[in-house]
C-alpha cells in the first residue's frame, strides 16, 4: 500500500489550523512520545487513513510484519450544539464566505468557545484512541503517527477537523446556506464562493479575475496599515517555469517582490483617488 505521508509533506509548512492541532497535542506533555511518532509519520509508516463517520481508522506499519490497527475519535457535538455553532457562524458574513470558499477563518475557535465548546481537544481526555500494538502507553508511536498524519490531512482539507466533531463538509455548508438564505442575508460573495470549483487546481490565466459583483456592504476604502498585503494573505502564487519562461534570474520570489512594490504604489494611488472622488461627490 502506498504511504500517505512523505518527507516533503512533513517538512512543509502547515496551515494554521493544522499546526494548532499539533501544538495542542504536544501541550499535553507528550513531546517525547510524539518525537518518535513524528519520525514514523515522516517515514511513511501510516499506510492507510480513513474516516468512518466521525471516527478515524488507520493502519500503521511497526516492527511486526503486519501493520497495527489504530482507531481515534473526539467527542462529537450533538445536533443542539451544532445548531448553536451554525447560528453563530451564519451571523458573520466573513466567516460564512470563507467556509463556503473552503477556507478556515482565523478566529473560528472563538465561535465554538462562545457556545461553551472547543473545536480542538481541550484536554488529553478528549481524545479516545486505541492501537493493536502491545505497547500499553497511550499515545504509542503508532497513534502519534496518526496524529501527525491527520495534521497534514487538515492542511489539505480543513473540513476534516469539523468531521472529527460530527459534521461532514456537506452537512456544515448546507446548514450555513440554509440559515443565511432563511435570513435573506446570503451575500453575492458567498454565492460566488459556493459556486466556485471545490478542487485545488487554479487556472493561472484567471488567477486575478473575479467576475461576480462585489457586495457593497463588505467594501470599505481605507489606507493600508502595516506591512502585510493581500499578496501575503494569498500565499505563494502558482508560478511555474512555463509561466515564468526562460528569463535568467527570474524566480517566484523575485516576481512576488516586484508585485508587492506595484501593489503598494497602486494601493496608495487608488486610496487617494477614491477619497478625492468621495470628497468631490460629498461637496
Instruction: Compute CA distances 117 → 5, 12, 82, 84, 197, whole Å.
Output: 31, 30, 10, 10, 31
CA–CA distance, 169 with 157 (Å, rounded to integer)? 9
Q: How confident is the model at residue 74 (pLDDT cuts 50, 70, 90)?
A: very high
pLDDT in tens, 150-201: 988 888 888 999 999 999 988 998 888 888 776 554 444 445 555 555 455 5
CA–CA distance, 117 with 81 (Å, rounded to integer)? 8
Question: What pLDDT is stored for residue 8 in this prediction?
Answer: 36
Q: Give phi and psi for 132, each to the nearest 5.
A: -85, 5
pTM of the model: 0.59
Question: What pLDDT is stored for residue 86 in this prediction?
Answer: 92
Instruction: Compute CA distances 91 → 94, 117, 162, 191, whole Å.
Output: 9, 18, 19, 15
Q: Where are the alpha helices (H) located in 187-251, listed in sequence order?
A: 188-195, 230-234, 241-244
pLDDT in tens, 197-252: 545 555 666 666 766 665 554 455 555 545 556 666 666 666 666 655 555 556 76
Phi-psi category of residue 222: left, alpha or beta, with phi > 0 → left and psi -120 to 50 → alpha: beta
Judged against a pLDDT cut of 50, whether residue 29 lies above it is answered with: yes
Angle at 174 between CA 167 and CA 4, to 5 degrees: 45
pLDDT in tens, 97-147: 888 777 788 888 989 999 999 999 988 899 999 999 999 889 999 999 999
Pair 70, 146: CB distance under 8 Å: yes
Question: What pLDDT is stored for residue 232 in this prediction?
Answer: 65
Q: How many CB atoms lie within 10 A of CB 70?
A: 27
Q: Which residues partner with 50 through β-bridges? A: 57
Amino acid at each position: 500500500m502506498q504511504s500517505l505521508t512523505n518527507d516533503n509533506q512533513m517538512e512543509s509548512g502547515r496551515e494554521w489550523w493544522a499546526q494548532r492541532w499539533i501544538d495542542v497535542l504536544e501541550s499535553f506533555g507528550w513531546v517525547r512520545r510524539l518525537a518518535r511518532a513524528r519520525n514514523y509519520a515522516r517515514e511513511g509508516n501510516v499506510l492507510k487513513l480513513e474516516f468512518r463517520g466521525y471516527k478515524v481508522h488507520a493502519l500503521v506499519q511497526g516492527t511486526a510484519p503486519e501493520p497495527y490497527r489504530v482507531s481515534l475519535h473526539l467527542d462529537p457535538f450533538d445536533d443542539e450544539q451544532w445548531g448553536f455553532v451554525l447560528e453563530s457562524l451564519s451571523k458573520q458574513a466573513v466567516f460564512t464566505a470563507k467556509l463556503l470558499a473552503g477556507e478556515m477563518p482565523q478566529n473560528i475557535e472563538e465561535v465554538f468557545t462562545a457556545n461553551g465548546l472547543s473545536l480542538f481537544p481541550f484536554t488529553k481526555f478528549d481524545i479516545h484512541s486505541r492501537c493493536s500494538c502491545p505497547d500499553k502507553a497511550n499515545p504509542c508511536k503508532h497513534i502519534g503517527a496518526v496524529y501527525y498524519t491527520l495534521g497534514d490531512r487538515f492542511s489539505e482539507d480543513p473540513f476534516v477537523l469539523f468531521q472529527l466533531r460530527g459534521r461532514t463538509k456537506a452537512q456544515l455548508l448546507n446548514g450555513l446556506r440554509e440559515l443565511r438564505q432563511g435570513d435573506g442575508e446570503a451575500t453575492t460573495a458567498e454565492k460566488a464562493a459556493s459556486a466556485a470549483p471545490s478542487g485545488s487546481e487554479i487556472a493561472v490565466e484567471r488567477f486575478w479575475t473575479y467576475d461576480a459583483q462585489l457586495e457593497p456592504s463588505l467594501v470599505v476604502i481605507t489606507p493600508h496599515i502595516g506591512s502585510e498585503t493581500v499578496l501575503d494573505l494569498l500565499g505563494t502564487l502558482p508560478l511555474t517555469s512555463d509561466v515564468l519562461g526562460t528569463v535568467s534570474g527570474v524566480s517566484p520570489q523575485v516576481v512576488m517582490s516586484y508585485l508587492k512594490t506595484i501593489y503598494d504604489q497602486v494601493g496608495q494611488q487608488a486610496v487617494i483617488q477614491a477619497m478625492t472622488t468621495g470628497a468631490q461627490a460629498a461637496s
